[in-house]
Amino acid sequence: MADPLLTIEDLRTHYHMTQGTVRAVDGASLTVMPGQTVGIVGESGCGKSVMLRSILRIVPKPGRIEGGRIALRREDGAVTDLTALDPDGREIRAIRGAEISMIFQEPMSSLSPVHTIGNQIGEALVLHKGLKPREARAETVAALEHVAMPRADRIVDMYPHEISGGMRQRAMIAMALCCNPRLLMADEPTTALDVTTQAQILALMRRLQEESGMAILFVTHDLGVVAQMTEFVVIMYLGRVVETGPVREIYHAPKHPYTHALLHSIPKLGQRRAGARLRSVAGGLPDPYLRQAGCPFAPRCPHNDGAACVTEAPALRPVGNGCEVRCHHAERLGLAGVRGKVPA
């Protein structure tokens, strides 16, 4: 078996505010293998995006990594702990964009409004590949054509506000892939797009992955996209990983009540009962400054036993079939999956 490309162990990224401490990522662990697509799923505020920013060491202040390890296996086989690097140092800046790239959530706010698309993509080529400006421009046009950008030779001289949302997302993907990274991190890359453009972007990412063999860390709250894009799923809640496993196992036989609630909140075609309402996850996210003892999902969980669930924090443990879960009662709950969402 190949060695992991990226290993995150007990990562803790906290924001120290005047009101208290927000534990955005609170002891999360995951592994990404070469060429693998891993999905990270959870409600807004669960720590998905902060985890990606922690990997690249671009967590905005007052946030900082308090502990844990992020091990990246380099092309020469050496392992580098990214948490030990200076966030502004030469080594991590050489990794960003070259070995690990990221597609940010909102291309309009992530792209510079005062620089052309060509300038922004070409900068990465100049920095990481040492190309001259004329060579970088030619490579930029080729990169835009590679992501099926129409009229790439004209788009290269345009500003972000002059092109559509789908084109901006393609430009972001071209920027992320122009240096052939081994790991691509996509932070909800299709959130603001219509369904037709979303399907085109997802198909494009799958094609590019097949061509390059890169691994993808895909963050989303759309479980349909997870079923379509990923092989392995990580479910997060309040900064913690509560369940992991192959996508088929997670969809067909979830072990954690939170995963079960997420899956059954998906609208289903064919349900036309009079007066039927969409199901939702009960309750709401607690105050981020307050952390109670016990399971973090206990206040919203219909299986809360009032004993261990509220006094003892469950550990992430294996439950068979390549799955792990953070629940005291996972084996006895017998939660129902959602058949037909993923290939059997």
Q: Are residues 176 and 33 in the same domain?
A: no
Of 154, 180, 206, which residue sits at a domain end?
180
Tell me how many domains the chain contains: 2
Q: Are residues 211 and 167 in the same domain?
A: no
Q: Are residues 193 and 331 in the same domain?
A: yes
Mean pLDDT per block of 10 residues along the chain (344 residues) reads 90 93 94 95 91 95 95 93 95 93 82 93 92 93 90 94 89 90 90 78 87 92 86 94 94 92 78 65 83 89 91 92 92 76 48
Longest CA pairwise span in the chain (Å)? 67
What is the predicted pLDDT for the residue at 332?
86
263 within 8 A of 295, measured Cβ to Cβ: no
Q: Which long-range contacts (CB under 8 A, 24 or more apart) does 125-134 make?
A: 125/178, 125/179, 127/97, 128/94, 128/97, 128/98, 128/179, 129/179
Q: Which domain holds residue 90?
A: 1-99+181-269+276-344
In a domain, 105, yes or no: no
196 within 8 A of 184, measured Cβ to Cβ: no
Q: Are residues 218 and 312 in the same domain?
A: yes
In a domain, 107, yes or no: no
What is the predicted pLDDT for the residue at 269?
64
What is the predicted pLDDT for the residue at 282?
82
Of 152, 180, 208, which residue sits at a domain end?
180
Of 180, 213, 230, which residue sits at a domain end?
180
In a domain, 110, yes or no: no
In a domain, 122, yes or no: yes
12 within 8 A of 68, measured Cβ to Cβ: yes
Q: Are residues 6 and 77 in the same domain?
A: yes
Q: Are residues 83 and 127 in the same domain?
A: no
Q: Are residues 166 and 213 in the same domain?
A: no
What is the predicted pLDDT for the residue at 343?
46
What is the predicted pLDDT for the residue at 344?
41
Q: Are residues 211 and 68 in the same domain?
A: yes
Q: Are residues 131 and 264 in the same domain?
A: no
In a domain, 318, yes or no: yes
Q: Are residues 3 and 26 in the same domain?
A: yes
Q: Are residues 121 and 145 in the same domain?
A: yes
Residue 59 CA to residue 70 CA, distance in Å, equals 14
pTM of the model: 0.89
Q: Are residues 259 and 233 in the same domain?
A: yes
From the number of C-beta atoms within 10 Å of its C-beta (0-12, 13-18, 19+), residue 3 rates as exposed
Hey, what are 28's tokens?
Answer: 């999360």
In a domain, 109, yes or no: no
CATH code: domain of residue 286 = 3.40.50.300
